[in-house]
Structure 1
Amino acid sequence: MSSLSSRTSALRADLQALLSALQVLGWRLRRRRAVIVGLAAAVSLLLIRRAKRKRDYFIRDLGLVGKGLPRQAGEGTSIVNNAPEYDVIIVGGGTAGCVLASRLSEDPTVRVLLLEAGGSGVNLPFTRIPAAYSRLFHTKHDYGLHTVPQSEAGGRSRYWPRGKMLGGCSSINAMMFQCGAPSDYDEWARLGGEEASSWSYKNLQKYFLKFEKFSPSKSFASVDSSLRGAAGPIQTGYFGNFSRFSSSFVEACKEVGIPYRPDINTASGTLGTSKSSQTPAFNVYLTVTYIDSTGSRVSTESAYLTEHVLRRPNLKVAIHATTTKVLLESVNGDTRAVGVEFAQSEHGTRFVARARKEVVLSAGAVHTPQILMLSGIGPAEQLAQHLIPVLVDLPGVGQNLIDHPVVDVNFHAKRGESINYVGKPQGVYEIVKTLGATLQYLVTRKGPLTTNVGESAAFVRSSDAALFPPVEYGQPPEDATSGPDAPDIELFATPVAYKEHGYAPLPQPSGELVALHAVLLRPTSKGSISLRSSNPFKPPVIDPRYLDTQHDVDVLVRALQLLGRLVRTNPLASVLRQSGTHPELDHRLHELSAEQLQKIVRDRVETLYHPTSTARMMPRDQGGVVDASLRVHGVPNLRVVDASIFPNIIAGHTAAPVIAVAEKAADLIRTALKA
C-alpha cells in the first residue's frame, strides 16, 4: 500500500512537472488540457522508477527553534537567555547561507540554526528546469524589489529580482559559472586592511577548487581538468543546451580579434571568448554552467543541503522565518551578538533564539545592511531618523552599492536559430517544437529547456587598441579594472530575446528573436541601501545610481559599438535577417552615432543581478563594515558572509565568488569556535 502511495505521489509530481514545463513554454491549456494531461501521464509512467523525492526536513513551526515573545515585550533581550540555544545562527539561506550551514554542521558538536525567509526551492520545477528561472520573477519566491527612479538612466525605477528561497539567487540566476579575474582578488587583499592577504587569488583559489566538481567533456578536450575542482558539491560542466547562434557569436568574436581561451576559470584569467571545440567537424560553444548531468539546475541548496546533511541532528533549518533584528548586548563597552529575533509575518509572533558563540548574516547585499541597521548598527544619523537606538555607529553600512549594468540589443534571426518559442510559441510550427522540446527534456533531460540562456560569453578591455583603434574611437575611458589582465566589458549571446527581464512585450514574430548583451564589469557609479522605515517587512530603499559617471556610459557605448561590428561579421551576420527594419530591433546598431548609443544605454540599462559591496571588508576608518575575518567592526562575534563584503565588485559573475567566500568563512568560523 505504501508502495502504491509513493508511486501515486511520484506520478502526481511528474504530472505537475510536465504541466509546469508547458507553462514555461507559454502553452495555453484550455481545451487541450485533457490531451496534455494524458500525455503527461504516459511520460510520467516512464519516469517514475528513476524519480527521487527528497523528504522534507524543514521546520515551519518557529516555536520549535525559538521562544515566542509576549506581545508587550520590548527588545526581546530580556528573555533571550531562556530561548533555545545554538552555537551559530545563520541569517539567510541563500547562495552563501546554505554553504555555511552545511560546512559548519559537519562538526557534530556545533549546533547550527539556519533561518530563511522563503521556502525550499529544490522541488519547484521552475528552479530545476534551467530555462524556467525567470518564471519565478514577480512571484512569492522573489522579493520583488525595485530601485528608486534612476535620474541618469531615463528617470525610471528598475526591477531587481532577488531569490526568496533556500539557495537564494543561485536558485534563480542564469547559471553561468565564472570566477572573475585573478587580479580582482589581489585587489581585495590590498583593500581589505590588516591580515587581508589571505584574500589574494593565490590564497582564495583553493576554495574555488574546493566547491567545484568539474565534469570534463570530449567536445572540449582542450580544457585542462587538472586545473579545476574535482570533488566538490557544486557540479559544473557542459550539460546545458547550445545553439548555433551562440556558436556563431564566438566565431565572430574570433574574427574581430578577441582572443580565444579554452578555459576562463583558471589562474590564466578571463580575457577571450569562453570556449571552442577541437573537433573541426562538430563545433560546439557553450558557457560552463551550474547544470548537472540530469539537465537540472545546481543551486547551493541542492548541492549543500542534501538529505544526508538535513538529517544531521545538530542542524536546524527553519523556513518562512524573516529575521527582524540581531539581538545585541553591551557590557562594559563590549558589544556582542547574543541572538536573533525572527517571525513568519509582519503581524505574527516574534521569536528569539540565542547564539552561544556567533551570529552570521548571509542575507545578501540588499538585506544584510537592512538587518544591520534595524539592529542598531549603521550610520547614526540614519538610525536616528527611524528612532532606532544606535549601538554601533558604522557609517559604511549600506554604502558603496555596486552592480553590473547590462544593455540588451535584440535581432530577428533566420528560422531555426532562435529558441524564443520556449517563451510564447506562435503558430502550429512553434507549438509542435514546443511540445517536442518538453518531451525531449522529460525523457532525455536535454534540449532547449536546458539552456542557461547566456550560452556564450566574451570578456574584453575597453582600452584594447586592437579592438578600439584610437584613431576611430578616441582615447579610452579611465581604467577602472583591477589590473592589465582584467576586463571591464563582457559580451554575451542568448538564443532568446527579452525586454525588462522577460516581462515586456517583444516584436512579433517573437519566436525568431535572438539577443546580444553588453555588460559593464567595473562601474565607477556607486549607490546605497538605506532604510525605508523601522519595519523589517518593508523593503529598504535601493539606489544603485546607475550611470552617475560618464565613464560608465562611455564604456557601455564602446561595448555596443563592438556588438555593432560583431553583427556584421560572419558567421554571426549570416544567421541574422540583415534586412530587418523593425523599430524596436537593433539591426542598424552599427549605423548609430556615439550620442545615439548613449541614449540607448541610458534608456535600456538594467541589472545583471550582481549587487555587491554594501558591507565592505575594509578598515573602519575607510568606510569598511567587516574586517579580514568578516567580523563586523565593533561586534566581534557578528560576521557577514555574502556579496556585501566584496571590497570592490569583481569583473565577472558573482555566484562562484560568493560560494568561495562562504567556504573560506566556514574555515574562519570553525577556527574561532575551537579557540
Structure 2
Amino acid sequence: MSPRPLLSRQTSLAVLAALAVAGLAGVRPQSSRKVLGLSAIAVGLLMRQIFAGAGRKLITDPAALPKSEEYDIIIVGGGTAGCVLAARLSEDPTVKVLVLEAGVSGKSLLLSRIPVGFSLLFHGKHVYNLYTEPQTNAENKKKYWPRGKMLGGCSSINAQMAQYGAPADFDQWAEIVQDDAWSWKNLRRYFTKFEKFIDDPDFPDVKSANKGKGGPMRIGYHSTVSEGSKDFIKACINIGIPYSPDFNAGLGTRGVNRIMTYIDESRTRVSSESGYFTDEVLARPNLKVVIQAQVTKILTEKVGNEVKATGVEFAKSQDGKRFTARAKREVIVSAGAVHTPQILMLSGIGPAEHLAKFNIPVVQDLPGVGSHLVDHPVVDIYFKNKHNDSPKHIKPHGPIEAIKLVGSAIQYLTTGRGALANNFGETAAFVRTDDPKLFPKAKFPATIADSTSGPESPDIELFSTPMAYKEHGAVMFPMHTFAIHVCLLRPLSRGTLRLNSANPWDAPAMDPKYLSAPEDVARLVRGIRLILRISKEAPLPARLDLADASPMLDNALDAQSDAALANLVRARVETLYHPTSTARMAPRAVGGVVDSKLRVYGVRGLRVCDASIFPEIVSGHTVRCCCCSACCELSVGKSQNTSQGNQIASPTAGHCKPVYDD
C-alpha cells in the first residue's frame, strides 16, 4: 500500500526550498546546532500549517468555564483512557462531560505526530520528567520515567507498538476480580471495537475476520522497517521461534513478526486524542475539554453515612488561582498509574498512616492506593551495523548528519517514507524462558518460578531497533549500530508509589523495586543469552560486525558467566514505560482500590480508569489495554438497578454504550 504524502505538490516545493535554505545556511564548521535549529523552525512552520486548527476547540483558560455550570461527568486527565471515555460518554447529548488535562494537545506537537520523534520530547516541557527512587538492586541508580503531559497521554509519546498481551492475562484479571466480564472471551470484542484495520496485500497472513474495521484507532504496517529487523525475524525463525502471523489474533502471543503500529496511511501517529477527539467530537456542545488545567484534589462530602465525590479543584500553575468544577454524577480519574494514586492520596483517599505524615485529612483509608506498583523492565544489547546504514542522523552529530536529517525530513513530508516514518520498535519475538526448544534443560538446568498467566503466555519479549541508544535516546553511539532488547513481561518485583509532600506540583516517590525478585534477574539473563544466540544466526551475521572489539558493543558477552550477565542487567535495566496496578481492580481485602466496575471502595461517585487499575501487568504493551478498559468500563459500569428501568448495557454486550447509570 503506497503512503499518502502529507503535502500537496505546491506546498512540498515551498518546503523543499525552506529546508534547503535552512540546511545550507548552517553548513559551516561547528554549526550542526544551527543546521538542526533552522531546519526545525522550517519544519515547525510547516507543521503549524498541516495541523492548523488542532486546538481551536480546546479551552485554554479555566476562567472561561461558566462558574455556575455543573457537569454530569468530570474526567481527570485527557490521556490514553480519558480521551476514549470522553468521546464515548458525550455521544449521549444529555450527558455533560468535562475533561481536565494538565498538558496541551498532542496533535499540536510536531514531535508527537512524526513517528520517530517521540524520544525527542523527553526531558522537555510536554513530558513529566520523573525519576524513581534509587533502585537498591540496580546499582542504586534513579531511573528516568517520562510520562505524557498532553492529550492522548502516553499514547502520544510511545513507540506506537500495537500489541496487547496474552488472552490468559485477562482470564487472570477476571479471576482476581471475580467478574467474568473481564475475561478474554468478553473483553476481546472491545479490543476490536476501537481499532480500524484495512486488509494489506503485503501481509496476507493477517486474518481480517479477527480485526476491527470501523474503530477510530488506525492500526497497520505503515512504519519504515530496517533491513536488520527483517533479518532479526528470519534469525528468530531459524533458531526455532515460530512465525506469528498476527500477535493480536486471540490465538496466543508467542512467536516472532513485525510489530503492527498506531500509524496511519499518511505516516503520522495515531493517539487516543487523534483517534477519539476529532473535530466533530470536540464540537459537541455537551463536551468541554480544558487543557493546561492540573487537578489538585478531588472534592468530597459526607452524605449520610457515605462519602461522595462532588467535583474537583484545579489550577493552571502552582501559584495560579484555584478553580472548582462540580460533578452531578461521577468523577472519573484517568491520570495514569503515577498521577492517579497521587491525586487520590492528595484528596485523602489512600493509606491513612501515610497521609497523616503530610497532615492530609483521611477521607477513606485505602492501603492499596499506590501499592503493587509494577513495570516492564528492559535491558538493551548493542551491536555494530556492518553496512553503516542506520538512521543515526535523526539525532545528528555534525553538519553532514544534519544535512541528512533535512533530506529525511523532505523525504518524509513528500513521500511518507524514510527514517522519520520509523517507530523504533520494529519487530518483536514473544517467548517463554522455560521453552525447552530455546532453553534446553542441559544448558539451563535451573527452574525459575512461573510468573505467567497461563502456559501459552510469554514472559519475555525481544524487540529490535534500527540503532542502539542509551538513557532513552539521550546518549547516541558514534558508530552505526543495531540493537536487540529484552523486556521482562511478567516481573515478580513489586514496588510502591507514595507522596513526597502535600504539594500537587511535587512529583511523587516512585519505587518500582526493580529486580528485587531474583527470578526477574534470572529471566533477563536468559533473554540476553537468547539475544546473543540470535545475533549469530543467519542472516544476521551478514549485517552485524560481530568481530568489532569496541568496548561500547556487546560482541564479547558470550564469554561472560551468568553472574557477570546478572551484573550487566543490574547496570543497564531501564523502564519500557509501562507502570501499572497502583489502584488495582481487586477485592478490597487483598489490597484492591476499585471493584470490577472500577468504583473506588468507600467513595460514591468516584471511579478510576487507566493502567493503574490493572489487577496484574499484561504480558505485552499497555496502551491498547487502557483503551479497552475505558471502553469496557462504559459497559460494566452500568450493571445495576435493572429492575428500576434504567438503560443498562450488559457487560457482555457487543458495544460500549455511553450510558452511565449507577
Q: Same fold (TM over 0.5)?
A: yes
- In the other structure, the counterpart of 1:542 is 510
Residue 570 (1) aligns with residue 557 (2): no
Q: State how far apart, in whole Å, the 1-side matches of 2:600 and 2:104 are.
A: 28
Q: State how far apart, in whole Å, the 2-side matches of 1:352 and 1:123 are.
A: 27
Q: C-alpha offsets along residues 10-38 of structure 1, whole Å, 9 cap, x if unaligned?
A: 9999799969x99xx99956675899699
Q: C-alpha offsets along residues 401-430 of structure 1, whole Å, 9 cap, x if unaligned?
A: 0000000111111124422222225574x4
- Contact kept, 8 Å, 1:287 with 1:456, in 2: the verdict is yes
How does the TM-score come out when normalised to structure 2?
Answer: 0.91
- In the other structure, the counterpart of 1:533 is 501
2:205 to 211, 222, 225: 222
2:599 to 631, 635, 644: 631
Unpaired runs of 5+ residues, structure 1, are: 1-6, 68-82, 275-285
SS of the aligned residue for 1:546 comes to coil
Residue 524 (1) aligns with residue 492 (2): yes
Q: Relative to structure 1, is the Cα distance of residues 176 and 270 closer, same or farther in structure 2, using a 3 angstrom cutoff?
A: same
1:313-328 to 2 correspondence within 5 Å?
313-328=285-300
Residue 201 (1) aligns with residue 184 (2): yes
Q: State how far apart, in whole Å, the 2-side matches of 1:119 and 1:38 are.
A: 20
1:174-323 to 2 correspondence within 5 Å?
174-193=159-178, 196-274=179-257, 286-323=258-295
SS of the aligned residue for 1:459 comes to strand
SS of the aligned residue for 1:100 comes to helix
- In the other structure, the counterpart of 1:142 is 127
Q: State how far apart, in whole Å, the 2-side matches of 1:190 and 1:289 are.
A: 30
- Contact kept, 8 Å, 2:16 with 2:410, in 1: the verdict is no
- Contact kept, 8 Å, 2:634 with 2:660, in 1: the verdict is no
Per-residue deviation, 1:578: 1.5
- Contact kept, 8 Å, 2:254 with 2:429, in 1: the verdict is yes
Residue 487 (1) aligns with residue 472 (2): no
- In the other structure, the counterpart of 1:673 is 660
SS of the aligned residue for 2:202 comes to helix
- Contact kept, 8 Å, 1:566 with 1:573, in 2: the verdict is no
- In the other structure, the counterpart of 1:277 is none
| Aligned-partner residue type, residue 210 of structure 2 | L
Q: Relative to structure 1, is the Cα distance of residues 66 and 526 closer, same or farther in structure 2, using a 3 angstrom cutoff?
A: farther
Q: State how far apart, in whole Å, the 1-side matches of 2:590 and 2:373 are.
A: 15
Q: Relative to structure 1, is the Cα distance of residues 17 and 94 closer, same or farther in structure 2, using a 3 angstrom cutoff?
A: farther
Q: State how far apart, in whole Å, the 2-side matches of 1:254 and 1:212 are.
A: 29
Q: Relative to structure 1, is the Cα distance of residues 323 and 31 closer, same or farther in structure 2, using a 3 angstrom cutoff?
A: closer
- In the other structure, the counterpart of 1:125 is 110
RMSD: 2.7
Q: State how far apart, in whole Å, the 1-side matches of 2:407 and 2:381 are.
A: 29
- In the other structure, the counterpart of 1:75 is none
- In the other structure, the counterpart of 1:647 is 615
1:503 to 474, 494, 497: 474
Residue 436 (1) aligns with residue 407 (2): yes
- Contact kept, 8 Å, 1:215 with 1:238, in 2: the verdict is no
SS of the aligned residue for 1:399 comes to coil
- In the other structure, the counterpart of 2:430 is 459
Q: Relative to structure 1, is the Cα distance of residues 297 and 235 closer, same or farther in structure 2, using a 3 angstrom cutoff?
A: same
Per-residue deviation, 1:158: 0.2
1:2-401 to 2 correspondence within 5 Å?
53-54=53-54, 56-65=56-65, 67=67, 83-193=68-178, 196-274=179-257, 286-401=258-373
| Aligned-partner residue type, residue 202 of structure 1 | K
- Contact kept, 8 Å, 2:581 with 2:615, in 1: the verdict is yes
Question: Matched residues, percent identical?
Answer: 50
Per-residue deviation, 1:529: 0.6
Q: C-alpha offsets along residues 319-367 of structure 1, whole Å, 9 cap, x if unaligned?
A: 1111011001112221110110101111111111100000000000000
Q: State how far apart, in whole Å, the 1-side matches of 2:203 and 2:631 are.
A: 28
Q: How many residues align?
A: 629
Per-residue deviation, 1:609: 0.2
- Contact kept, 8 Å, 2:254 with 2:457, in 1: the verdict is yes
Q: State how far apart, in whole Å, the 1-side matches of 2:37 and 2:339 are.
A: 44
- Contact kept, 8 Å, 2:19 with 2:42, in 1: the verdict is no
- In the other structure, the counterpart of 2:4 is none
Q: Relative to structure 1, is the Cα distance of residues 347 and 18 closer, same or farther in structure 2, using a 3 angstrom cutoff?
A: farther
| Aligned-partner residue type, residue 104 of structure 2 | G
Q: State how far apart, in whole Å, the 1-side matches of 2:14 and 2:622 are.
A: 33
Q: State how far apart, in whole Å, the 1-side matches of 2:13 and 2:598 are.
A: 45
Residue 448 (1) aligns with residue 419 (2): yes
Q: State how far apart, in whole Å, the 2-side matches of 1:135 and 1:356 are.
A: 41
| Aligned-partner residue type, residue 318 of structure 1 | V
Q: Relative to structure 1, is the Cα distance of residues 334 and 231 closer, same or farther in structure 2, using a 3 angstrom cutoff?
A: same
Q: State how far apart, in whole Å, the 2-side matches of 1:543 and 1:566 are.
A: 33
1:595-614 to 2 correspondence within 5 Å?
595-614=563-582
- In the other structure, the counterpart of 1:660 is 628
Q: C-alpha offsets along residues 410-465 of structure 1, whole Å, 9 cap, x if unaligned?
A: 1111124422222225574x455433322110101121111110000000000001
Q: Relative to structure 1, is the Cα distance of residues 585 and 347 closer, same or farther in structure 2, using a 3 angstrom cutoff?
A: same
Q: State how far apart, in whole Å, the 2-side matches of 1:657 and 1:362 are.
A: 13
Per-residue deviation, 1:111: 0.1
SS of the aligned residue for 2:660 comes to helix
- Contact kept, 8 Å, 1:66 with 1:351, in 2: the verdict is no
